[in-house]
């Protein structure tokens, strides 16, 4: 399919230097090593929305020495992800309610010309390489935050292999970062496409239906099950069209196209808030910002990519 460069977090072809992960604890101490900085899931960017790569000797790491994750090799330089979530900005309220988008930005005194920004809000402003580094670092750091104890025996596990493994000292079990596969479906019937919205989304926000793949399912089976569960629509043929890493917190979005066999919508209110058929002409108005009640899917997200290609008749292998 064309225009895959419009998918955020895709297409950088980062050299992940997996063969060096066993030596990462030593390599991170090199003067040549650099780190992308994360704080509470946000990334440190300069004023031009470029991902900073700082030496580990930078004062930003003094108060909260990080556990560095080896992200890969860039121009013969090793790049790590370093988390300083222990830092508390002046006036910061960790219990403050955050909406769908976190527009707040925080400046660390050690880097006065840079700010921590929500990755979801700035994903299309990043270069392909910066986006891949940020997505990888965010996903792996979140995995470490939520998987500190062995799932087999309950003992506290230890970071290993440059952050790409956790080992249990009690029972010897190895644990590895997980990625959750999610199907997201462009379901069409004639000239119409099926869209829906979840509770809590901003007003007017609709997207394609999506859901996690369950154990023992194929991609096609997951598409049919999720669409039926959420909307009551039966889907026939399914094609896999594209994929996108989605670090919120650690998913792989599998973009599919499916042909609906029925049209009557019966939503499950526990799954979604609303679903409706939208004609190609109305969706063109949505993308142009002329629809009275529906806003376009976010640029960079796979839903926007699939809908855009559907409107342009580019849904081909």
Q: Are residues 138 and 43 in the same domain?
A: yes
According to the model, what pLDDT value does residue 97 have?
A: 67
Q: Are residues 120 and 41 in the same domain?
A: yes
Q: Rounded to an integer, what distance in angstroms lies between the CA atom of residue 261 and that of residue 234? A: 5
Last residue of a domain, one of 150, 172, 205: 150
Please check whether residue 157 lies inside any domain of the structure.
no
Please, what is the Cα angle at 71 between 67 and 76, to 5 degrees?
120
**Which domain, by its residues, includes 8?**
4-150
Q: Rounded to an integer, what distance in angstroms lies between the CA atom of residue 273 and that of residue 252? A: 24
Q: Please list the helix, strand and coil fractions of the chain in percent, rounded to the nearest 5, in that order.
A: 25, 30, 45
The CA–CA distances, whole Å, from 11 to 34, 48, 281 equal 22, 21, 31
Residue 3 has pLDDT above 70, yes or no: no
Q: Are residues 143 and 197 in the same domain?
A: no
Q: Are residues 185 and 303 in the same domain?
A: yes
Q: Is 202 exposed, middle or buried (0-12, 13-18, 19+ CB in 10 A)?
A: exposed
Residue 126 has pLDDT above 70, yes or no: yes
According to the model, what pLDDT value does residue 4 have?
A: 59
Q: Are residues 135 and 185 in the same domain?
A: no
Distance of CA 141 to the CA centre of its chain: 13
Please check whether residue 316 lies inside any domain of the structure.
no
Find the CATH number of the domain harbouring 289. Answer: 3.90.79.10
pLDDT digits (tens, 9 = 90+) for 184-197: 999 999 999 999 99
Number of domains present in the structure of the chain: 2
Please check whether residue 175 lies inside any domain of the structure.
no
According to the model, what pLDDT value does residue 317 have?
A: 45
* pLDDT mean across residues, the chain: 93
Q: Are residues 228 and 302 in the same domain?
A: yes
Q: Rounded to an integer, what distance in angstroms lies between the CA atom of residue 216 and that of residue 178? A: 17
pLDDT digits (tens, 9 = 90+) for 200-241: 899 999 999 999 999 999 999 999 999 999 999 999 999 999
Q: Are residues 113 and 213 in the same domain?
A: no
Please check whether residue 172 lies inside any domain of the structure.
no
Q: Which residues pair with 43 in a beta bridge?
A: 38, 117
């Amino acid at each position: 399919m064309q225009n895959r460069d419009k998918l955020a977090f895709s297409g950088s072809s980062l050299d992940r230097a997996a063969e060096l992960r066993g030596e990462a604890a030593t390599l991170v101490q090199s003067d040549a090593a650099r780190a992308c900085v994360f704080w509470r899931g946000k990334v440190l960017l300069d004023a031009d929305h470029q991902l900073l790569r700082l030496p580990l000797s930078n004062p930003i790491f003094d108060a909260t020495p990080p556990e560095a994750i080896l992200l890969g090799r860039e121009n013969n330089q090793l790049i790590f992800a370093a988390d300083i979530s222990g830092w508390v900005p002046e006036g910061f309220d960790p219990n403050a309610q955050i909406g769908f988008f976190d527009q707040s930005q925080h400046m660390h005194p050690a880097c006065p010309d840079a700010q921590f920004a929500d990755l979801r809000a700035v994903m299309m402003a990043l270069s392909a390489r910066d986006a891949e580094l940020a997505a990888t670092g965010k996903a792996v750091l979140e995995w470490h935050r939520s998987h500190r104890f062995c799932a087999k025996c309950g003992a506290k596990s230890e970071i290993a292999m440059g952050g790409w493994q956790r080992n249990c000292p009690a029972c010897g079990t190895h644990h590895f970062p997980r990625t959750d596969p999610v199907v997201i479906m462009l379901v069409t019937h004639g000239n119409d496409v099926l869209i829906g919205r979840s509770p809590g989304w901003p007003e007017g926000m609709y997207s394609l239906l999506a859901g996690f793949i369950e154990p023992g399912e194929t991609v096609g089976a997951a598409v049919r099950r999720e669409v039926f569960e959420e909307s009551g629509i039966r889907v026939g043929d399914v094609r896999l069209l594209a994929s996108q890493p989605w670090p919120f917190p650690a998913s792989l979005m599998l973009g599919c196209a499916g042909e609906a066999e029925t049209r009557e919508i019966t939503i499950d209110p526990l799954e979604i808030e609303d679903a409706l058929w939208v004609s190609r002409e109305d969706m063109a108005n949505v993308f142009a910002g002329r629809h009275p009640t529906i806003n376009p899917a976010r640029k960079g997200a796979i839903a926007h990519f699939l809908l855009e290609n559907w409107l342009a008749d580019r849904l081909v292998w």
